[in-house]
Amino acid sequence: MTAPEHVPVLLARIVELFTPVFADRDGVLVDATVGLGGHSDALLEAFPRLRLVALDRDPAALEKSKERLARHGDRVDLVHTVYDGLPEALASVGVAKADGILFDLGVSSMQLDRAERGFAYSKDSPLDMRMDPTTGFTAADVLNTYAPGELVRILRDYGEERFAQRIVKAIVAAREKEPFTNSGRLVELLYDAVPAATRRTGGHPAKRTFQALRIEVNGELEVLRRAMPAALGALKVGGRIVVESYQSLEDRLVKQALAELAKSRTPEGLPVELPGHGPELKLLTRGAEKAGEEEIERNPRAASVRLRAAERIGEPR
């Protein structure tokens, strides 16, 4: 059985947002989470003078995107790094600042579709969940070694799981008998720990716990907190940033980072903007944009997307 085709989310909208920057002119775009290269491939096709710097922490994803983007020749530089290393990645290929930056956050299609990576609760597989499988601790390590209080915090903060206490109590009892190694045993435990009424109406009982473990293993929110100011600092005046988030915690961080720089620092009541106190960014989306029903029908993974975009209109403070 072949894996489902990778379908880039909100692709037409992303091309539209970058058109004023890259149409008929040279420019550098950073795809900070290139994954399988779907967005990048389309953007390189749409803008023939575009140069791409593509980042990913997952070596397997970089290999796949390298194959997919090979037809664009020397217009593409691939860098193995986590996206908070964006300024260093640009410097490594001789670029000072970017004209456009794209983030497509969360777990990639390839990571979900490969059972051995351990991201999908629908398949029994090793509890790994590392986006870069060459380094760091696994989801099994978290389940088997973290103190109960830490596990409760992770499930509550990263999974927004209201039954965190019940779930952790069950996990601690189970790991005392035998350490966790595979997802199937954890999914079975979660079915038993989450009340039946919630299972009927609240989606799959493993969804929130798996999200929480994945975020902890990959340090996703801490990385994003560092990555947003780093990326915005590496964006030229007139350049644009587009971010696709897939859960509320990510979207909140992105919203706050963009909104902070879209505000004026001129004291209220003054008749003119003080020099150097104006907004750095202009927001290009009204709130977060979502995928339409047709796209969600074609690509169910688009259902949770939240897209935000901004243009740099002033020099960094």
Return the CATH number of 117-218, one of 1.20.200.10, 1.10.150.170, 3.40.50.2000, 3.40.190.10: 1.10.150.170
CATH architecture of 11-110+220-312: 3-Layer(aba) Sandwich (3.40)
Res 109: pLDDT: 54
200-212 per-position pLDDT tens digit: 665 788 889 999 9
Residues placed in the known binding site: 37-39, 56, 83, 104, 111
- Residue 147's CB is within 10 A of a number of other CB atoms, namely 10
Mean pLDDT of all residues belonging to the chain: 90
The pLDDT value given to residue 3: 38
- Domain boundaries along the sequence of the chain: 11-110+220-312, 117-218
pLDDT at 112 (0 to 100): 55
pLDDT at residue 280, rounded to an integer:
95
Render pLDDT for 6-52 as a digit per residue (tens, 0 to 9).
689 999 999 999 999 999 999 999 999 999 999 999 999 999 999 99
- Condensed to tens digits (0 to 9), the pLDDT of residues 120-159 reads 777 788 999 998 888 899 999 999 999 999 999 999 999 9
Mean pLDDT, rounded, for 105-127: 67
Please state the residue numbers annotated as binding site for S-adenosyl-L-methionine.
37-39, 56, 83, 104, 111
Q: Give the pLDDT confidence of 239-268 residue by residue, as tens digits.
A: 999 999 999 999 999 999 999 999 987 777
pLDDT tens digits for range 53-96: 999 999 988 999 999 999 999 999 999 999 999 999 999 999 99
Is there a contact between 272 and 132 (Cβ–Cβ < 8 Å)? no
Residue 1 pLDDT exceeds 70: no
Each residue's pLDDT tens digit, 270-302? 777 777 777 999 999 999 999 999 999 999 889
Statement: residue 199 has pLDDT above 90: no
Residue 265: its pLDDT value, please? 75
Query: Is the pLDDT confidence value at 99 over 60?
Result: yes
pLDDT of residue 251: 97
